[in-house]
Amino acid sequence: MSQGDILQSMKEGSEKAQAVVAPATTLEEAIAYAVNLTVQEGGTTMAAPGMDDAARKALSAACGEKGITLLDSPLRAQMTKIHTAFTWADRGIADTGTLVLNSDSEEFRIATMLSETHVAVLPVDNIVPSMDALEGYMTEHFKKGPGYIAFVTGPSRTADIERILTIGVHGPKRLHILFLDGGEK
Amino acid sequence: MIHTPETEKEFKAQIKKSLEKDFMRKTLTNFSVAYRQSRSNAFANLDLEGMREDIACMKDAGIPNLTVLFDEFKKNAEAAGTIIHVAKDGDEANRIIAQIAKENGVKRIVKSKSMTAEETFLNDHLEKDGYEVVETDLGEWIIQMRHEGPSHMVMPAIHLSRYQVGELFSDVTAKKQDPEDIEGLVRVARKELRPTFIAADMGISGGNFAIADSGAIGLVTNEGNARLTTTLPRVHVALMGFDKLVPDVSAAMKILKILPRNATGQALTSYVTWIKGTNECAPGPEGKKIQHMIFLDNGRLALAKDPIFAEVLRCIRCGACANVCPIYRMVGGHTFGHVYIGAIGLILTTFFHGKEKARGIVKCCLNCQSCKGVCPSKIDLPFLIKNVYAKVQEEDGGKPLKTRLTSLLLKNRRLFHTTMKAAAKMQGPATDGPYVRHLPNFLMGDHNFRRLPAIADRSLRDDWKQVKPKVTNPTLKVALFGGCAGDFIYPEQGKAFAKLCEAYNVSVDYPMDQSCCGLPTMMMAQMDTAKDIAAQNVKAFTAGDYDYIVTLCASCGSHIKENFPKLLTKKGAVPADVKAMADKLIDFSSFMNDVVKVKSEDFMNLGRKVTYHYPCHLVRGLEVTEAPMALLEKAGVNYVESNESQVCCGFSGSFSVDFPMISKNMVAHKLDNAEATGATTLVTDCPGCVLQLRGGAEARGMNLTVKHMAEVLLEEKK
Q: What's the pLDDT tens digit per position in B556-607?
A: 999 999 999 999 999 889 999 999 999 999 999 999 999 999 999 999 988 8
- Please, which residues bridge with residue B238 across strands? B205, B293
Interchain contact, B272 vs A151, CB within 8 Å: yes
Average pLDDT, chain A: 95
Give the one of A76, A148, A154 whose C-beta lies nearest to B270's C-beta.
A154
- Please, which residues bridge with residue B337 across strands? B341
Chain mean position to CA A147: 18
pLDDT confidence bin for B439, thresholds 50/70/90: low
Residues B112 and B206: beta-carbon distance below 8 Å? yes
Across the range B499-511, mean pLDDT stands at 97
Confidence check: pLDDT of B409 > 80: no
Residues B392 and B359: beta-carbon distance below 8 Å? yes
Across the range B438-457, mean pLDDT stands at 74
pLDDT confidence bin for A93, thresholds 50/70/90: very high
- Please, which residues bridge with residue A47 across strands? A85
Give me the residue spans of the domains in chain A: 3-180
Percent of all residues in chain B with a pLDDT value above 70, rounded to a whole number = 98
Across the range B108-136, mean pLDDT stands at 97
Cα–Cα distance measured from residue B592 to residue B452, given in angstroms and rounded to the nearest whole number: 29
Contacts of B145 in chain A (CB under 8 A): none
Q: What's the pLDDT tens digit per position in A114-165?
A: 999 999 999 999 999 999 999 999 999 999 999 999 999 999 999 999 999 9
Confidence check: pLDDT of B135 > 60: yes
Cα–Cα distance measured from residue B178 to residue B175, given in angstroms and rounded to the nearest whole number: 10
User: Which pLDDT score is estimated for B425?
Assistant: 79
Give the one of A113, A139, A154 whose C-beta lies nearest to B231's C-beta.
A113
pLDDT confidence bin for B418, thresholds 50/70/90: confident
User: Which pLDDT score is estimated for A185?
Assistant: 41
Across the range B618-647, mean pLDDT stands at 96
pLDDT confidence bin for B429, thresholds 50/70/90: low
Specify the domain boundaries for CATH 3.40.50.1860 within chain B: 432-595, 599-716
Interchain contact, B190 vs A80, CB within 8 Å: no
Cα–Cα distance measured from residue A51 to residue A55, given in angstroms and rounded to the nearest whole number: 6
Looking only at the bridges linking them, the beta strands covering B202-205 and B235-241 are: parallel
The DSSP secondary-structure symbol of B619 reads I
CATH domain A3-180 topology = Rossmann fold (3.40.50)
Cα–Cα distance measured from residue B514 to residue B344, given in angstroms and rounded to the nearest whole number: 34
SS3 B523: helix
User: Which pLDDT score is estimated for B442?
Assistant: 54
Phi, psi of B681 (to 5 degrees): -125, 135
Cα–Cα distance measured from residue B72 to residue B59, given in angstroms and rounded to the nearest whole number: 17
Q: What's the pLDDT tens digit per position in B187-228?
A: 999 999 999 999 999 999 999 999 999 999 999 999 999 999
Q: Is CATH 3.30.465.10 the classification given to domain B432-595?
A: no
- Please, which residues bridge with residue B551 across strands? B481, B587
The DSSP secondary-structure symbol of B159 reads T
| DSSP H or E run through B688 | helix B687-700
- CATH classification of B56-301, choosing from 3.40.50.10420, 3.90.180.10, 3.40.50.300, 3.40.50.1390? 3.40.50.10420
Average pLDDT, chain B: 94
Please, how many CA atoms are within 13 Å of residue B334, restricted to the half-sphere of its CB?
21
Residues B213 and A136: beta-carbon distance below 8 Å? no
Phi, psi of B29 (to 5 degrees): -65, -45
pLDDT confidence bin for B482, thresholds 50/70/90: very high
Which of B58-72, B361-375, B407-421, B633-647 is least confident?
B407-421
pLDDT confidence bin for A184, thresholds 50/70/90: very low
pLDDT confidence bin for B50, thresholds 50/70/90: very high
Across the range B401-412, mean pLDDT stands at 76
Please give the interface size between A and B, counted as residue pairs whose CB atoms are below 8 Å apart.
Answer: 179
A:50-79 residues touching chain B, CB 8 A cutoff:
74, 76, 79
Residues B166 and B179: beta-carbon distance below 8 Å? yes
Confidence check: pLDDT of B326 > 90: yes
Nearest CA in chain B to A109: B231
Q: How far is A65 from chain B (nearest CA, A)?
A: 31
- Please tell me the class of the B599-716 domain: alpha beta
- Please, which residues bridge with residue A179 across strands? A23, A122
User: Which pLDDT score is estimated for B606?
Assistant: 83
Give the one of B142, B187, B253 whose C-beta lies nearest to A132's C-beta.
B253
Phi-psi region of B685 (alpha: psi -120 to 50; beta: other; left: phi over 0): alpha
Which of B314, B351, B415, B440 has the alpha carbon at shortest distance from B58?
B314
SS3 A20: strand
B:380-439 residues touching chain A, CB 8 A cutoff:
none
Confidence check: pLDDT of B627 > 50: yes
User: Which pLDDT score is estimated for B447?
Assistant: 74
User: Which pLDDT score is estimated for B631?
Assistant: 97
Cα–Cα distance measured from residue B121 to residue B97, given in angstroms and rounded to the nearest whole number: 12
Confidence check: pLDDT of B443 > 60: no
* CA separation, residue B224 to residues A108, A173, B163, B240, B416 (Å): 15, 10, 25, 19, 61
Q: How far is B670 from chain A (nearest CA, A)?
A: 25
